[in-house]
Structure 1
Amino acid sequence: WSWGSRSALSWPFSSGSPAVRARASCDSLQCIAACFVTQHLLHLAESPGPLVCSPSCQLTCRRVALLRCSRNDVLVLTPWLAPIVWEGTFNTDILNEQFRLRNTTIGLTRTEGGDRELFLQTAEKHFMVGHRVTYYVFTDRPAAVPRVPLGEGRRVVVLEVLGGPRWQDVSMQRMAVISRFCEQRFLREVDYLVCADVDMKFRDHVGVEILSPLFGTLHPSFYGAARKDFTYERRPRSQAHIPRDQGDFYYMGALFGGSVAEVHRLTSACHQAMAIDQANGIEAVWHDESHLNRYLLDHKPTKVLSPEYLWDQQLLGWPRVMKKLRFVAVPKNHQDIRAT
């Protein structure tokens, strides 16, 4: 039932570090490439007066220097030339106009548990504002899903699923559930799918700048860690196994997405890998997140979201490099959750 309107690398971040200055310098090829790609994709050029982006898009944009670095304190490009999205690396007005011209519809999935009302209320305030959105709420208790006032073109669809005895079971079932509903309805109903976890809320703007064929989000606890410290699954018996000399970034399972077709491929592959592990009597160390990291190592995301999009202020505070905290954890007892 539904309601609503139907209209490899790691890096340090301390600005005083010589390594950071070398990596972040505008003189580096990587930074120049990042600036070029970012500005070129936004159709910007140095010219006097307003610029019309294309004949079909009457959006005018301000004059911007073509090769000026938007951020020089963080990594803004992966080695495979995928943008890493930080505040200051995109133009919201231009992107909003481009996606409105396509009449884009975004689906947001949310697994069972946590404060659904808080999640939906904050999503209405900050998530894809001005765009068509369908919230897909997975639950084994449909009657418990609260009714939240929705904006035009936004609706909630409640999808009944079986619960699990442990949070780990619910987490791992998510891949199978998303894969199944991709086939049954998501492919027909939305253009992009954003998959979010429980116990999270939106705190600031999360918009179309995140959309891409396939995106993952950097884990906030590991964005400054060395690759050897990533908590990948290290046991070769598991389908999620990543050797110690491999790996790009460590992605968190609480926020990923892309086109529905790509999300279907990702969730189907992870579900199949978990089924093989189960048949072999092994469970990956971080469950579906371990399998997500294996998949994104083999299938590079076309966009990577910075830790602005997945942060735990209770554990990590608010470092200066984070200009905004956009999607944040609801305070909880992490030790109690991990022990259950």
Structure 2
Amino acid sequence: MAFLEGFQRSRRFFLIGGFMVAFFCSLSWYAVKDRKWDPSIQHSCEEYWFRINGQKENRLQRMLYPKPETLKPPRTDVLTVSPWLAPIVWEGSFNTEILNNQFRQKGWRVGLTTFAIKKYIRFLKPFIETAEKFFMVGLPVNYYVFTDQASNVTDLNIIVGTGRQIIILEVPSYERWQDVTMRRMQMISDVCQQRFASEVDYLVCVDVDMRFQDHVGVEILSDVFGTLHPAFFVKGRDKFTYERRPESQAYIPEDEGDFYYAGGYFGGKVEEVYKLTNHCHHAMLTDKANNIEAIWHDESYLNSYFLYNKKPTKILSPEYLWNEMDGTAFYLRKIRFIALQKNMAEVRT
């Protein structure tokens, strides 16, 4: 009997509950049956989504350009992607108009760092003047000049365009040129925290004894990028001049290595450049404590960092760093940044 009574009570409960649900559903339908869908409801939902997930994405401007052909890659004569899927940037592998359009929408800022220390100050004026013609044209750029001769930089009276400025960062000089080049990692690392992080989004770190002679734009930018050394990019790893002493923090065995990167051209987002330069600086300090100086100084530590972290996330072809002594080659459709001819012994003395 108790079982039957419990069953009847449960039955009454479900019947009453079902009636109430049906009643409220009918009221809701009656309230909205004559209403039309209001598109603003969708817009307000989208606006809420972007408020909680970052800035609203804007459509790119309309652009006309040839359709990419899936079975006809623009370059088949060169490697265009690394084994870890980092793009290798060659002329013909990107569309400048599309990239500039994306970049401007983000409102990103670029910093270009270089070191004009001791006699290397003589290269600063042609370096910046050619950068004004070819580097990130039409975009805001901060030129960060590390120098031990601030007054001489001012006396050069270099004129830059609207939205671009020269910022002088005074640093000490060093007796040996090897110490100058190795200290670059420490100096960049320090200033990343002090000011770069609040002033720019990307850093491009290059040597001053160079000149720009063709377009260098936002196609180079990535989380962290490196540049193929023009003297080694077609050679086997056994020819790479890595640091081969196991005692060094820059050591790379002869059976390892993907590419040989130039120490005079790297960059990326400020936080990634800080990680790179800070790592290399502390690796140098460890070696110095053990009386070790890597064969190619900061370049040796850069190569070790890139290899064992499977970076960079983008690789620049030798178009972006060339030397006239290497002549030309069929795979170079453009030479964008080139070393100046000089007496190395005289400049470094």
Answer yes or no: is 1:102 the counterpart of 2:101: no
Instruction: Give the 3-state SS of the residue equivalent to 1:101 in structure 2.
Output: helix
Partner deviation per Cα, 1:212-253 (whole Å, 9 max, x = no partner): 000000000001100111000000111000011111100000
CA distance in structure 2 between the aligned counterparts of 1:277 and 1:62, rounded to whole angstroms: 52
Q: Unmatched 5+ residue regions in structure 1?
A: 1-53
Answer yes or no: is 1:120 the counterpart of 2:131: no
Partner deviation per Cα, 1:261-314 (whole Å, 9 max, x = no partner): 00000000000000000000010000000000000012211100000000001x
Aligned to 1:62: 65
Question: Deviation at 1:339?
Answer: 8.5
Instruction: Give the 3-state SS of the residue equivalent to 1:57 in structure 2.
Output: coil
Instruction: Give the 3-state SS of the residue equivalent to 2:271 in structure 1.
Output: helix
Aligned to 2:47: none
What letter is aligned with 2:193? E
The 8 Å contact of residues 228 and 261 in structure 2, kept in 1 or not, is answered as: yes
What letter is aligned with 1:60? M
Answer yes or no: is 1:291 the counterpart of 2:301: yes
Aligned to 2:227: 217
1:262-277 equivalent positions in 2, closer than 5 A: 262-277=272-287
Answer yes or no: is 1:258 the counterpart of 2:268: yes
Question: Deviation at 1:55?
Answer: 5.1
Aligned to 1:134: 142
The 8 Å contact of residues 61 and 101 in structure 2, kept in 1 or not, is answered as: no
The 3 A distance-change label for structure 1 pair 94 and 339 is: closer
Answer yes or no: is 1:162 the counterpart of 2:162: no
User: Which 10-residue stretch deviates more, 263-272 or 57-66?
Assistant: 57-66
Instruction: Give the 3-state SS of the residue equivalent to 1:282 in structure 2.
Output: coil
The 8 Å contact of residues 59 and 94 in structure 1, kept in 2 or not, is answered as: no
Question: Deviation at 1:60?
Answer: 1.6
CA distance in structure 1 between the aligned counterparts of 2:337 and 2:62, rounded to whole angstroms: 29
What letter is aligned with 1:78? S
The 8 Å contact of residues 140 and 162 in structure 1, kept in 2 or not, is answered as: yes
The 3 A distance-change label for structure 1 pair 75 and 211 is: same
Aligned to 2:323: 312
TM-score norm. by structure 2 comes to 0.79
Question: Deviation at 1:198?
Answer: 2.5
Aligned to 2:162: 152
Partner deviation per Cα, 1:307-337 (whole Å, 9 max, x = no partner): 0000001x20111211111111000235x37
Aligned to 2:95: 91
Could you list the structure 1 runs, at least 4 aligned residues long, displaced by more than 6 angstroms after superposition: none
CA distance in structure 2 between the aligned counterparts of 1:118 and 1:339, rounded to whole angstroms: 19
Aligned to 2:30: none
Question: Deviation at 1:72?
Answer: 1.0
What letter is aligned with 1:210? I
Pairwise CA RMSD of aligned residues? Answer: 1.4
Instruction: Give the 3-state SS of the residue equivalent to 1:87 in structure 2.
Output: coil
Instruction: Give the 3-state SS of the residue equivalent to 1:157 in structure 2.
Output: strand
The 3 A distance-change label for structure 1 pair 208 and 339 is: closer
The 8 Å contact of residues 114 and 206 in structure 2, kept in 1 or not, is answered as: yes
The 8 Å contact of residues 104 and 131 in structure 1, kept in 2 or not, is answered as: no
The 8 Å contact of residues 112 and 205 in structure 2, kept in 1 or not, is answered as: yes
Aligned to 2:48: none
The 8 Å contact of residues 214 and 302 in structure 1, kept in 2 or not, is answered as: yes
The structure having more radius of gyration, on CA atoms, is 2
Higher helix share: 2
Instruction: Give the 3-state SS of the residue equivalent to 2:112 in structure 1.
Output: strand
Q: Unmatched 5+ residue regions in structure 2?
A: 1-56
CA distance in structure 1 between the aligned counterparts of 2:263 and 2:208, rounded to whole angstroms: 11
CA distance in structure 2 between the aligned counterparts of 1:209 and 1:61, rounded to whole angstroms: 19
CA distance in structure 2 between the aligned counterparts of 1:130 and 1:339, rounded to whole angstroms: 35
What percentage of aligned pairs have identical amino acids?
55
Answer yes or no: is 1:302 the counterpart of 2:313: yes
